[in-house]
Amino acid sequence: MNFTVLVDNNAGCNLNMMAEPGLSFLLENDYQKILFDCGYSDIFIKNAYKMGLDLTEVTEIILSHGHNDHTGGLIRLDILYRKMLAAGISLTNKSIYAHPDVFEPKLDARKNNIGFPGNASDLCDVFDLELSVDPVWLTSKLVFLGEIPIKYKTDYRYNDETAVTYKGAEGLVILAGCSHIGLPNIIEYAQKVAKEERINTLIGGVFLRDKTEYKVRELGIYLRSLNIKNFYPGHCCDLNSKVVLSEYVKVKEVYSGLKLVFD
């Protein structure tokens, strides 16, 4: 499975990629191109073009949750596909996998909607909506987790956050969007669904912005106990949190253009 970061908060050195406060990954095997989140704008599309990645061949799109820094770019992708169809260009069938509440409004502290900035019904002309609270295996190794049970307390007020897990030869590869519901909840449900305890790689959003040092260290102690081989905290994880986490687990950099391969 080939893995590419299409957009993250940071841009890699000498790659001429753009960055924004959003997240989008691309997973590729011999038969599928799977988008995990679409960032905030069309930057993920532009970065993909720079890297020679054809997003017209995307077969599935997975939305980690409904916030606009993960779903806003879906509108830009929808516009691109509509233009191609209008020009007579045929496209492969494309399905969106997400929690049934993903397109519901998400209110911030000021009661502003920071959820999907469009109308979900408009997407049905181009995409098949596969909304599920249950896990869905997209390949024999890759699973959309559906609604994640909350074992450890969380401040997130919604039920729509999910994640993706790849069951590799050396353990699980867990892709997280923001981890509003807490990494321990995501990790332990991924282990249960995939029936695998080993964690090879954890990559994606780690919601530690403005968290107390106690909370960050608490997570660091938890992650150290898992013996994670590769930890890539990105998107909504600030520098101070990464520095503290590095005392417990080796922290690797995430940036637009990062490429990895998983067996």
User: pLDDT at residue 14 above 80?
Assistant: no
Hey, what are 218's tokens?
A: 């608490």
Average pLDDT on 136-144 reads 97
For residue 13, the model assigns a pLDDT of 78
Question: Which pLDDT band, with edges at 50, 70 and 90, does 23 fall under?
Answer: very high
For residue 199, the model assigns a pLDDT of 97
Beta strands in the chain (DSSP E): 2-7, 24-28, 33-36, 60-62, 95-98, 128-131, 136-137, 142-144, 163-168, 171-176, 199-205, 230-234, 259-261
Q: Is the dihedral of CA 85, 103, 53, 140 positive or negative?
A: negative
Domain spans of the chain, in order of start: 2-261
Reported as a single tens digit per residue, the pLDDT across 123-133 is 999 999 999 99
CATH topology of domain 2-261: Metallo-beta-lactamase; Chain A (3.60.15)
Backbone angles phi, psi at 17, to 5 degrees: -100, 155
Question: Which pLDDT band, with edges at 50, 70 and 90, does 12 fall under?
Answer: confident
User: pLDDT at residue 228 above 90?
Assistant: yes
Reported as a single tens digit per residue, the pLDDT across 146-178 is 999 999 999 899 999 999 999 999 999 999 999
User: Which is higher by pLDDT, 249 or 109?
Assistant: 249
Return mean pLDDT, the chain: 96
- The pTM (predicted TM-score) of the whole model is 0.97
Average pLDDT on 47-58 reads 96
Angle between helices 213-226 and 183-194 (to 10 degrees): 20
For residue 15, the model assigns a pLDDT of 84
Residues contacting residue 141 through CB under 8 Å, at least 6 positions apart = 1, 166, 167, 168
**CB contact at 8 A, 235 and 22:** yes
For residue 112, the model assigns a pLDDT of 95
Helix, strand, or coil (residue 29): coil
Hunting for tokens 């997003």 — which residue is that? Answer: 55
Distance CA 182, CA 186 (A): 7
Residues contacting residue 140 through CB under 8 Å, at least 6 positions apart = none
**CB contact at 8 A, 45 and 142:** no
For residue 209, the model assigns a pLDDT of 83
For residue 171, the model assigns a pLDDT of 97
**CB contact at 8 A, 86 and 45:** no
Hey, what are 206's tokens?
A: 């780690």
